Structure 1
Amino acid sequence: MVRKAIFSGKFYPEKEEDLIKFIKQHTNGNAEYSEGYFKRLGLILPHAGYIFSGKTAIKAVEKARNIGKPKTIVIFGTNHTGYGEGICSVWDHGYWETPLGEIEIDEDFASRLVDNSNLFKVDYTAHFYEHSIEVLLPILKYFFGDFRMVPVVYNFQSLENSIQIIEKLMSIYVEKVLFVASSDLNHFENDKVTREKDLLLIKQILNRDIEGIFEIVKLHNISACGIGPISILVGMFEKIQLIEHTTSAEATGDYSYTVGYASFLLR
């Protein structure tokens, strides 16, 4: 089964040369990337249009590339569409298209997630019109080249579900894997409020407080869309580094109506 790049030309450049040009504009031109594989690494990345959040995602992925590269990327997106079945919808075979080439599904890893689990179900409907995974793939493809992936849309996000998902993932011992959580932060408030709310959430992330993440979001009405994916990665790694925090105001100049973006590297 093939997942077409339906947001190409909308959230990010459609042409390969334009895409590469954009990414290079926000990279360290003198970087020396490691040719080895890392054992396990995590990234939390934003998924808006590249003019808004692309540089924030690029900076974190390049940091990871300095460490090494993965053979498999497991990427957790959020659900903006309302489509999908089960707690998590897994795309389990075939490949996804990007302007930089196809990315093959790691069918073995996908089957291990779905096997005997009520957390993960094979379901394509959650993926067809969802942008939170697709938007990150060209950046990951540019830096990491050939890898396989497992796309997962986290449909029903809760503390209890996240704890079970973490336990499931930690029980599957694998190396040379990058785990990615896709999420933007606070939405559609003025820049001052968005930054204040974002910092409350960022503090809980850096403290590795999964329960605190869900509590602070509810207490302060923080409209981050991927709290579930974020919480999964926070629970899987011991060291978390904030790479960049920004808002859409830096791109648009509109400080009255903003979205927050942050990227993190986890080890």
Structure 2
Amino acid sequence: MTIRPPAVAGRFYSDDPAQLTQDLRQLLSDDIDQGGEPAIDPATCGSIRGLIVPHAGYVFSGRTAGLAYRLLKPIADQISRVILVGPSHRVAFEGCAIPKAEQFSTPLGNVAIDQQGVAALMEDANIIVSDQAHQLEHSLEVHLPFLQTCLGQFTLLPIVTCDVTAEQVARMIEPLWDPHTLLVVSSDLSHFHSYSECNKIDERTCREIESGSTDISPYEACGSTGINAANYIIRAHGYHLTRLSRVNSGDTQYGDKQRVVGYVSYTICQ
């Protein structure tokens, strides 16, 4: 059995299982104020089918992600598979990459790759099999400990996007996004602007996302392909987005105000 080991444990999040468990418990709790825009009342979110969540180090975006992930606990028994879509940061290729590896590992244990889903995706001409594309990629990995904590047992269908259109990604995902499958789209917002400029850009981007736009650019969100793909499907099925929180790294105790990265979390509900 081939296992993809964690690449960013010890950097983006703790590589010690006990410390990671404690960190996640804190990030998923109700009593921490990260700053920035406050989260809305989770009770207004509706029936959750998916999430859009950031993928930076936990000290920067972990609380923003945690606000979304904590909503999964009451519905954990309804979710048996997670489609996880994120952008490639290190390897360039055409299409989308799925791994040859049969499991992904984190300090909390292993997650099995959904082989039935892999077989279905393999019929798409825009899919390649590449462990290299996944080997060092953090945009998917940082979500696994959250998912392991909130869901328990599930299988994973990890998709890294590169040179591919949002429409093509939407066509891959839609047939597999059944009622027992959670879609997780991984994306940060703008990168390396001043605090005030980041807020202006990111608020405009969020309004575009919430209007159903499928033209979000990588300048606005590094995971724009996944966001746009989700919006194609959201529009087709009459789902809706609920914004939970929008902040940036300057809102944390570890970030400065000169070169910040923006983060947002959404639920996708029917």
Hey, what does 1:21 align to over in structure 2? 22
Q: Give the alignment of 1:40-189 within 5 angstroms.
A: 41-68=49-76, 69-83=78-92, 85-115=93-123, 117-157=124-164, 161-172=165-176, 174-189=178-193
Q: Give the alignment of 1:34-45 within 5 angstroms.
A: 41-45=49-53
Query: How far apart, in 1, do the equivalents of 2:207 and 2:48 lie?
Result: 23
| Paired letter, 1:133 | L
Hey, what does 1:34 align to over in structure 2? none
Query: How far apart, in 2, do the equivalents of 1:172 and 1:182 lie?
Result: 18
| Paired letter, 1:81 | R
The question of whether the paired residues in 1 share the 8 Å contact of 2:177 and 2:183 is answered with: no
Query: How far apart, in 2, do the equivalents of 1:232 and 1:127 lie?
Result: 20
DSSP 3-state at the match of 1:210: coil
1:232/1:92 CA distance change after superposition, 3 Å: farther
1:198/1:107 CA distance change after superposition, 3 Å: same
The question of whether the paired residues in 2 share the 8 Å contact of 1:242 and 1:264 is answered with: yes
DSSP 3-state at the match of 1:10: coil
Q: CA offsets per residue over residues 89-121 of structure 1, 9 Å max, x none?
A: 012551010111100000001110111x11212
The alignment covers a number of residue pairs equal to 248
Query: How far apart, in 1, do the equivalents of 2:10 and 2:177 lie?
Result: 38
Query: How far apart, in 2, do the equivalents of 1:259 and 1:172 lie?
Result: 32
Query: How far apart, in 2, do the equivalents of 1:105 and 1:182 lie?
Result: 18
DSSP 3-state at the match of 1:139: helix
| Structure 1 gaps, min length 5 | 31-37
Hey, what does 2:196 align to over in structure 1? 192
Per-residue deviation, 1:130: 0.9
Hey, what does 1:257 align to over in structure 2? 259
Q: Please give the TM-score of this superposition, normalised by the length of structure 2.
A: 0.86
Q: Please give the TM-score of this superposition, normalised by the length of structure 1.
A: 0.87
Percent identity between matched residues is 28
Higher relative contact order (CA 8 A, sep 6+): 2
| Structure 2 gaps, min length 5 | 32-45
